[in-house]
Amino acid sequence: MTKLERWKGRNADKDELRRSVWQTLEETGAAIGDPWSTIPDFVGAQAAAERFCELPAWQNSQIVKSNPDRAQSWVRLQALQQGKTVYTPVPELVNDYPFLLLDPEVLLEQGVDFESVMFSEGAVEHGQRVQFSDIPPIDFFVVGSVAVTREGGRTGKGAGFADLEMGVFRHYGAISADTPIVTTVHDKQLVADDRIVMQAHDNGLNFIATPTQLVETTAAYQIPGPIDWARIQPDQYRNIPFLESLRAEIESSD
């Protein structure tokens, strides 16, 4: 049976790695649901999220950005329960607004329990719609991952959403070289350092949390510069409604 690989073809090495990890997660039962073409949900995701509580960077954070995938839903819930403000993107950036604000005080005032917004469907229903330019400096930046290394290498599902977001946030000053970039994964998503190809536009990780360990990465990757619009794929312009206007806004301000 052919498995779905929605964004394959942009980098053969990354495609092969994703395929290997998704297959391993599926065959070992570590995945929850179908992992293919996703940031996979995994057994132990809650335990992985709880490992962030060991980090001073988490303890001191007030503004958390998290990807919208189910694997990181426990990170979002934990943040809200601890009184942190959460910004999460609309899944695959398909609406004419890119982000949702989950303010724990506002949600409580509205009678919305945090479990109702930990998943993307509830966040879309109850979150406040915001633009990139509305988002303040972020204290703790959570991304989804398909494969990671102890050096801090990362590969996502291939769509390029995380790198695009980080490029825009750097333009607006919402993240800097000091902002911790982190992820949660299953231990089986940790791969050998030489298996991940890090390109100029790829962002490295500072911390990786799994159900069994918290990894502080060992190598510092060069921080990508401004968005290279020439690298944006035609399907991204087709599928992300606000991308053309965002590009015009950014380029007019440079």
Q: How many domains does the chain contain in total? A: 1
Is 6 domain-assigned? no
pLDDT tens figures, 116-162 = 999 999 999 999 999 888 999 999 999 999 999 999 999 988 766 77
User: Alpha carbon of 103 to those of 33, 34, 59, 120: distances in Å?
Assistant: 29, 31, 17, 15
Structure token pair of residue 152: 């801090």
38-43 mean pLDDT: 96
pLDDT tens figures, 207-254 = 999 999 999 998 677 676 667 777 777 777 776 776 777 777 777 776
Is 244 domain-assigned? no
Say if residue 195 is exposed, middle or buried (CB neighbours under 10 Å; 0-12, 13-18, 19+).
Answer: middle
Is 103 domain-assigned? yes
100-123 mean pLDDT: 96
Range of the domain at 156: 12-239
Note if the pTM is more than 0.85. yes
pLDDT tens figures, 153-206 = 999 887 667 777 888 888 888 998 899 999 999 999 999 999 988 877 778 999
CATH number at residue 20: 3.40.50.10420
pLDDT of residue 41: 98
Residue closest to 65 by CA, chosen among 85, 91, 38, 94: 85
pLDDT of residue 1: 42
pLDDT tens figures, 63-87 = 999 999 999 999 999 999 999 999 9
Is 251 domain-assigned? no
Provide the pLDDT confidence category of residue 93 given band limits of 50, 70 and 90: low
User: CA–CA separation, 240 vs 203, rounded Å?
Assistant: 21
Is 132 domain-assigned? yes
User: For residues 243 and 237, is the Cβ–Cβ distance under 8 A?
Assistant: yes
Is 248 domain-assigned? no
User: CA–CA separation, 224 vs 204, rounded Å?
Assistant: 9
Is 221 domain-assigned? yes
Number of C-beta neighbours around residue 56 at 10 A: 8
